[in-house]
């Protein structure tokens, strides 16, 4: 497909959308018409909503604004040897009083400056089905 062909095809599609927008203006006028019975005006109003959604979907598709169609699934594994996990294991099963005693004890221990941890390992993402 040549670039000129793609441009011409896109131009034709945009002209079709513009024609539908003109029809939509006429349909809106019909929905506001006082001469029509209420039932017909409601049907026209619903048709306006339906037409607007279809035009918006077509424009979104044509202009490339729609969301990607791929799904990404992440499979994560956690290393359970870190400090946080060790604290969780140490405090597991304590009742409220024991928990508060151990928490107070841990808070009372003098602190040494520690180097900042390296951070979490990078995530490995695999493309989903």
Q: Is the pLDDT of residue 6 over 70?
A: no
First CA to last CA across the chain, in angstroms? 30
Partner residues linked to 72 by β-bridges: 127
Please check whether residue 69 lies inside any domain of the structure: no
Of the candidates 82, 17, 80, the one whose C-alpha atom is nearest the C-alpha of residue 51 is 17
* Whether residues 7 and 45 fall in one domain: yes
Range of the domain at 57: 3-63
Please check whether residue 85 lies inside any domain of the structure: yes
Among 35-44, 81-90, 112-121, the range with the most confident prediction by mean pLDDT is: 35-44
SS3 (DSSP) at 90: helix
Of the candidates 53, 47, 19, 50, the one whose C-alpha atom is nearest the C-alpha of residue 32 is 47
Lowest model confidence (mean pLDDT) among 36-45, 50-59, 78-87: 78-87
Phi then psi for residue 46, to 5 deg, are -65, -40
H/E stretch holding 74 = strand 72-74
* Whether residues 59 and 86 fall in one domain: no
| Higher per-residue pLDDT: 104 or 77 | 104
Q: Is the pLDDT of residue 12 over 60?
A: yes
* Whether residues 12 and 42 fall in one domain: yes
Q: How many domains does the chain have?
A: 2
* Whether residues 56 and 85 fall in one domain: no
Per-residue pLDDT, averaged over 67-82, amounts to: 74
What pTM, to 2 d.p., does this model score?
Answer: 0.45
* Whether residues 55 and 99 fall in one domain: no
């Amino acid at each position: 497909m040549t670039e000129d062909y793609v441009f011409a095809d896109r131009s034709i599609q945009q002209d079709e959308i513009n024609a539908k927008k003109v029809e939509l203006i006429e349909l809106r006028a019909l929905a506001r018409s006082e001469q029509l019975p209420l039932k017909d005006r409601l049907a026209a109003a619903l048709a306006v909503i339906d037409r607007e959604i279809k035009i918006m979907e077509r424009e979104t598709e044509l202009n490339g604004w729609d969301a990607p169609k791929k799904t990404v699934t992440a499979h994560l594994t956690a290393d359970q040897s870190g400090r946080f996990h060790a604290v969780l294991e140490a405090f597991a099963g304590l009742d409220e009083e024991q928990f508060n005693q151990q928490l107070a004890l841990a808070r009372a221990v003098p602190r040494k400056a520690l180097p900042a941890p390296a951070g979490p390992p990078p995530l490995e993402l695999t493309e989903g089905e």
